[in-house]
Copies of this chain bind each other. A is one copy, B any other.
Amino acid sequence: MFRNRMPRYEILSEQSMAVLDSGWRRLVSEIGIEFMSDRALDLFREAGQQIEGNNVKFDPDWVLAQVAKAPREFDVQARNPANSVHIGGDSMVFSGVYGPPFVREGEVRRDASMEDFRNFTKLAQSFTALDSAGGVICEPNDAPLDSRHLDMTYALATLTDKMFMGNVVSGTNARDVIAMTEIIFGGRAAIEATPATISLINCNSPLRWDDRMLDAQFEYSAANQPVVITPFLLMGAMSPVSIPATLAQQMAEALTGIALSQLIRPGCPVIFGSFLSNIDMQSGSPQFGTPESATGLLCTGQIARHFGLPVRSGGGLTSSQVPDAQAAYEGLMTMLPTFLAGINWVMHTAGWLDGGLVSSYEKFVIDVQILEVLQKEFTPIEFTEESLAFGAHLEVGHGGHFLGAEHTMERFRTCFYRPFLSSSDNYDRWMRQGAKDAAARAGDVYRKKLADYVQPPMDEAVRAELEEFVDRRRKELGD
């Protein structure tokens, strides 16, 4: 797990933050937030908030009092303790793309399958820079709909020994995931003591939380499993065409969702979520890697710290249809601010293509390459007398070179980060090696990774119990 010990890049003045604070307070108190769940409305009513139909008008100070109950930092355990992670503070935890119904492999774009799901999960296991495959690394369209969450959770839990995300399609699915997690980690008490999943709860922005997501949130929060309370904001569609307005809306939605989690179980872990970009105002298409989204991201990190909450944002987002130059610069246009903002939980780190509709094998590899460079770049170096290497200068003198200097010989294996994908071959050598661009080389990398993949060991009794659970539940669900 990476710790970002570099400075945060903060662009909001105190005055700007005060404007945003006044904004979310006015939204939650004057317009209110809709919760399409009677259980949620009952909790808010009991807590003295003003209910009108499904709409809740909040006392902002009461909201902040609930938010203050959430932990600033917490651990999430993985099956392999070496892969357990810490959420909050200076930690940054990276997971794969989440949600695409399609995959791209070379020139082929097609429906994602369970086989693809397993492949991407194996790739996530294979790259140490990634902390998790995530959850819906692609949508396995050939698996039966009602029991698909069982297959996905089983794959995540057995093909990786990293932490994995929980299914949020329904409360029932959430209960199944929790039950499987209990089997793996030794019972309810064990996962309540140290959570073992993170789940993504999206807002139906603007200003509405829907019933299915809330049902899942009730299950996960009750089991002390962290939820990422995420306003889903494409400016121009789900929020106004103004970054400040969108940030205030994001605060209103996230903070009220977090307040609910603290009513379900005071002190349960939450993450302040952000998914914020904009649409193309001529076509209506979502755009990613935009300057507006980067600005929103930088502000979001600062806002979450303002409330003392861990924060989710970022990822290798792009609108590009193929793993080309656009895919790379749009992805990095989001990932570099992700590091500058010190985002704690990063979804969509690897594999995102085509506005999130496609999980791309090649883009997955390109994104991990970018991630490794950034992890190196955001590792502080030491400025000491010894680091000045005065002796090397004495040895080399004027107009010489340092290739054979003693200082170099002692350090050449580890002094610089060495990329696994980027090529600095000279032109002739690059031509001799097939003149492959980065996407073609990325194809070679993922095929080799899959060929070399070794499944991490698992206690056979646990595996048998998991399989029994999956079989039983699949029958009960009628698949």
Binding site for B on A (CB under 8 A): 6-7, 9-13, 15-16, 19-20, 22-23, 26-27, 31-34, 55, 109, 204, 206-208, 235-245, 248-249, 278, 280-292, 294-295, 319-333, 336, 340, 354-355, 357, 366, 369-370, 373-374, 376-377, 379-385, 387-390, 392-394, 396-403, 405, 407-408, 411-413, 415-419, 421-427, 430, 435, 437-439, 442
B residues within 8 A CB of A417?
A: 290-292
Q: How far is the CB of A160 from chain B (nearest CB, A)?
A: 26
A19-B385 in contact given A206-B396, A240-B393 (Cβ < 8 Å): yes
Q: How far is the CB of A393 from chain B (nearest CB, A)?
A: 6
Q: Is A241 a contact of B282 with CB atoms below 8 Å?
A: no
**Contact for A329 among B282, B288, B366, CB less than 8 A:** B366
A236-B294 in contact given A206-B393, A320-B422 (Cβ < 8 Å): no
B residues within 8 A CB of A388?
A: 19, 22-23, 26, 242, 244-245, 248
Q: Can you list the 3 inter-chain pairs with the closest CB atoms, starting with the nearest?
A: A291-B377, A16-B383, A328-B328
Q: Is A425 a contact of B10 with CB atoms below 8 Å?
A: no
Q: Is A9 a contact of B9 with CB atoms below 8 Å?
A: yes
**Contact for A9 among B16, B319, B340, B413, CB less than 8 A:** B340
B residues within 8 A CB of A9?
A: 7, 9, 340
Q: How far is the CB of A313 from chain B (nearest CB, A)?
A: 15
Q: How far is the CB of A302 from chain B (nearest CB, A)?
A: 12
- Report the separation of the CA atoms of residues A329 and B423 in the bound assembly, to the nearest whole angstrom: 12
Copies held by the complex: 2
Query: Which chain B residue has the least Cβ–Cβ distance from A374?
Result: B291
Q: Is B424 a contact of A285 with CB atoms below 8 Å?
A: yes
B residues within 8 A CB of A31?
A: 393-394, 397-398
B residues within 8 A CB of A10?
A: 7
Q: How far is the CB of A362 from chain B (nearest CB, A)?
A: 8
Query: Which chain B residue has the least Cβ–Cβ distance from A358?
Result: B427
Other A-B contacts than A241-B412, A282-B418, 11 sampled, CB-CB below 8 A, are A26-B390, A207-B397, A236-B416, A241-B402, A244-B388, A287-B419, A291-B373, A319-B424, A326-B328, A355-B424, A357-B427
**Contact for A383 among B109, B244, B387, CB less than 8 A:** B244
Q: How far is the CB of A151 from chain B (nearest CB, A)?
A: 27
Q: How far is the CB of A424 from chain B (nearest CB, A)?
A: 4
B residues within 8 A CB of A438?
A: 320, 324-327
Query: Which chain B residue has the least Cβ–Cβ distance from A388?
Result: B23
**Contact for A325 among B284, B288, B366, B427, CB less than 8 A:** B366
